């Protein structure tokens, strides 16, 4: 892909012109050999609601980049949206095995909640907090989980911890 075409594609993706981006990517011979181009194609299909095509593209993306956490995460999101929960769980676990991320944890916890396995959903948050105990975002999301589980006292404690950490990071940023 020429530099000019790459810039055009980046512009189409950034301006959320999904259908023209799909046309540009589908017409490019390299798309199916380049995991990032293929990911962009999958994302564009996802954004227009064509989950079947998005799933196909993300699966191929995972084949091209089995150690790319973002590909596993994207596939997991699509599989969650299409209620393929065991596959979504496996894809998201692979994403976390490659690179821990807040978003993968959040989506995986949702998968476990949809599977009505609240203990595993909580474990996902607790593992994340063990890795990043100073993450206000992680504490806040754990609070949301606790609130959804009707554990209000614990939720308030988690929210309080998140606020404390957020204030601390704001004052450090301003110092």
Ordered by start, the domain boundaries in the chain are 132-175
Residue-wise pLDDT for 108-123, tens only, equals 999 999 999 999 999 9
Q: How confident is the model at residue 168 (pLDDT cuts 50, 70, 90)?
A: confident
End-to-end CA distance of the chain: 45
The chain-wide mean pLDDT, for the chain, equals 93
Residue-wise pLDDT for 46-56, tens only, equals 999 999 999 99
DSSP states of the chain as a string? --HHHHHHHHHHHHTT-HHHHHHHHHT-TTGGG-HHHHHHHHHHHHHTT-HHHHHHHHHHHHHH-TT-HHHHHHHHHHHHHTT-HHHHHHHHHHHHHHS--HHHHHHHHHHHHHTT-HHHHHHHHHHHHHH-TT-HHHHHHHHHHHHHTT-HHHHHHHHHHHHHHHHHHHHHHH-
12 closest CA partner among 4, 77, 62: 4
């Amino acid at each position: 892909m020429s530099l000019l075409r790459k810039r055009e594609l980046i512009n189409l993706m950034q301006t959320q012109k999904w259908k023209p981006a799909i046309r540009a990517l589908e017409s490019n011979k390299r798309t199916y050999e380049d995991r990032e181009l293929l990911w962009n194609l999958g994302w564009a299909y996802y954004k227009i609601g064509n989950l079947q095509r998005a799933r196909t593209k993300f699966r191929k993306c995972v084949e091209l980049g089995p150690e790319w956490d973002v590909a596993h995460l994207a596939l997991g999101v699509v599989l969650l949206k299409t209620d393929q929960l065991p596959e979504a769980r496996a894809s998201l676990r692979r994403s976390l095995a490659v690179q821990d991320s807040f978003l993968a944890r959040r989506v995986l916890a949702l998968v476990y909640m949809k599977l009505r396995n609240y203990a595993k959903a909580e474990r996902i948050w607790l593992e994340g907090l063990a890795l990043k105990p100073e993450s206000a975002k992680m504490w806040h999301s754990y609070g949301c989980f606790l609130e959804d589980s009707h554990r209000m006292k614990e939720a308030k404690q988690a929210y309080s911890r998140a606020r404390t950490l957020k204030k601390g990071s704001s004052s450090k940023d301003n110092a």
